[in-house]
Chain A
Amino acid sequence: MPSLGANTVAILIALGSFPVSLGLTRFFMYWNSRHGIIGIDVHKLNRPKVPEMVGAAVPITLILFAAIYTLTGGASSIALLAYSLVVGLAALVGAADDRLKMRGIFKPVLTLLCGLPLLILGLAFPGEIYASTLHVPLFGSYHLPVIYPLTILVAVSVTSNTVNMLDPLNGSMAGGISIVAGGLLIGSLLIGAGSMPIFLYASLMFSMLGFLYYNRFPARAFAGNVGQLSIGASIGALAILGKTEIASIVAIFPNIQNSFFFLSRIRRFTEHRELTSKPTKLLPDGKLADSEDPRAPLTLVRTLLVGRPATENEVVSTIWMLFLTSTSLAVITLLLTGVTL
């Protein structure tokens, strides 16, 4: 197996993301509570107050460990700088949205700009960030010198916002993205990818697990837009840097379905808090149910509740199972990328 040593070192360094993310999450829970940065968990009967924007722990951990990995000489500093800038910019957009409650259209527009470091550094240092060649499973590859650089901006915006849209229940996003990162890490190891994407996928997975410890049911921390957008941007940037573009799309099928049905019904970019027709409702026994409102979007959670109410924990377990399914298909996609009919 090529560069087993480098990959092992990469994973061992990335392992440090778990305790750091865990500690930072605990710190932000305390600090945000003290400063009144709290949200209400509307899917519980007693509507508990939960510290918001705690997901900031994840981008900070990712950037910190990208810097540490650069210092160890593990990978190209240009690529890791681009990755850190993308994650950092998306976190800033998310933080601004959390504090200023911007209109729904601003997030997709501003996150388009978050992909700029990948594009600019890619143009300045050819071959360090992207290669403009798309490798397609079973069918070979083709060169996209004009389209590929432009799709980078769209890719980061789409992944950021689609991850942002599928975090309605405790642990649904954190658990789902942990599974995606873990699956793509395994896939990258199986196809003998370079140590940089392996490190970044491992770092993302361990950071997410650290945050998930406090975000799982019953949540003691909410990610906020700062966490959701930066984690989504990380998936988008990794798809480019790790050459896992098509597999990454497959892995986030649950997010894509959720966003598509939300947008196709609402027909505009808007915030969940601005929706007048809610897709789900809370029953007196604490279970969640389909709202049966024909004007409400058919979100992923709603599809799982059609005709059968369920507890929040059951719905989240089902969402994780869906991520496991899509991520398994993503790993197969990665394995098929080297095969040509």
Chain B
Amino acid sequence: MNNRAIGYELVVFVTQWGLMLLGFGILTKFVAQLNLLNPSLSLDLYFDAAVKALIALVLSVAWLFIWDRQVRLYFHKRGR
């Protein structure tokens, strides 16, 4: 077994796991609490959901970007 690879991946997984929980925490504690539009209007419920989904999407992209940089740092540059 490639113990070094497992070690690097372990660091990557634990880091990404922590970041993911933090991201869900931000969504739960801050984003979900926002009242962006008047919820009494039926269509505004969907706009509100769309804006919050967009924020979640941005957080997901940021998460994947960090994951990408971390893996490249550990594996790709070592292979050159």
A333 to B13, CA, bound (A): 13
Inter-chain contact B29/A321, CB cutoff 8 Å: no
Assess whether B24 is in contact with A304, with CB atoms less than 8 Å apart.
no
B59 within 8 A of A: no
How far, in Å, is A256 (CB) from chain B's closest CB?
8
Task: Report how far A253 CA is from B25 CA in the complex, Å.
Answer: 19
With an 8 A cutoff between CB atoms, is A250 at the interface? Answer: yes
| One of A136, A145, A303, A318 near B71 (C-beta < 8 A) | A303
Residues of A within 8 A of B58 (CB): none
Q: Are A306 and B64 closer than 8 Å at their CB atoms?
A: no
Complex contact A246–B79 (CB within 8 A): no
What are 20 A-B residue pairs whose CB atoms fall within 8 Å in the complex?
A134-B24, A136-B24, A139-B29, A140-B28, A141-B28, A144-B49, A145-B49, A147-B53, A249-B20, A257-B12, A260-B68, A298-B71, A298-B76, A303-B9, A306-B5, A306-B78, A318-B6, A322-B6, A325-B9, A329-B17
Given A136-B28, A141-B28, A303-B75, is A318 in contact with B17 using a C-beta cutoff of 8 Å? no
Among B49, B68, B78, the residue within 8 A (CB) of A264 is B68
Residues of chain B lying within 8 A (CB to CB) of residue A303 = 5, 9, 71, 75
Cα distance, A298 to B72, chains bound together (Å):
9
Residue A73 lies at the interface, judged by CB distance under 8 Å to chain B: no
Which residues of A have CB within 8 Å of B64?
A: 260
A residues near B72, Cβ cutoff 8 Å? 298
Instruction: Check A250/B20 contact, CB under 8 A, given A147-B53, A321-B6.
Output: yes
B1 within 8 A of A: yes
* Residues from chain A with Cβ under 8 Å of B5 in the complex: 303-304, 306, 318
Query: Which chain B residues in 8-45 approach chain A with CB under 8 Å?
Result: 9-10, 12-14, 16-17, 20-21, 24-25, 27-29, 32, 45
Across the interface, which residues of A come within 8 angstroms of B13, CB to CB?
253, 322, 325-326, 329
- Residues of chain A within 8 A (CB-CB) of B75 are 298, 303, 306
Interface pair B17/A257, CB less than 8 Å apart: no
Among residues of A, the one whose C-beta sits closest to the C-beta of B72 is A298
Distance in angstroms from B76 CB to nearest chain A CB is 6
Q: A308 to chain B: closest CB distance in Å?
A: 7
Q: Mark A83-109, 1 if CB is under 8 A from B, else 0.
A: 000000000000000000000000000
The reply to whether the CB of A110 lies closer than 8 angstroms to some CB of chain B is: no
B21 touches A137 (CB 8 A): yes
What's the Cα separation between A310 and B6 when bound, in Å?
Answer: 14
* Contact for B28 among A139, A147, A257, A290, CB less than 8 A: A139
Q: Which residue of A lies closest to B17 (CB)?
A: A329
Instruction: Using A260-B68, A264-B68, A306-B75 as known contacts, say yes or no to A142 and B27 having CB atoms under 8 A apart.
Output: yes
* A residues 297-318 touching B (CB-CB < 8 Å): 298, 303-304, 306-308, 310, 314-315, 317-318
Given contacts A246-B24, A250-B17, A322-B6, 11 further A-B contacts (CB under 8 A): A137-B24, A140-B28, A142-B32, A147-B52, A264-B68, A306-B5, A306-B76, A308-B2, A314-B2, A322-B13, A329-B13
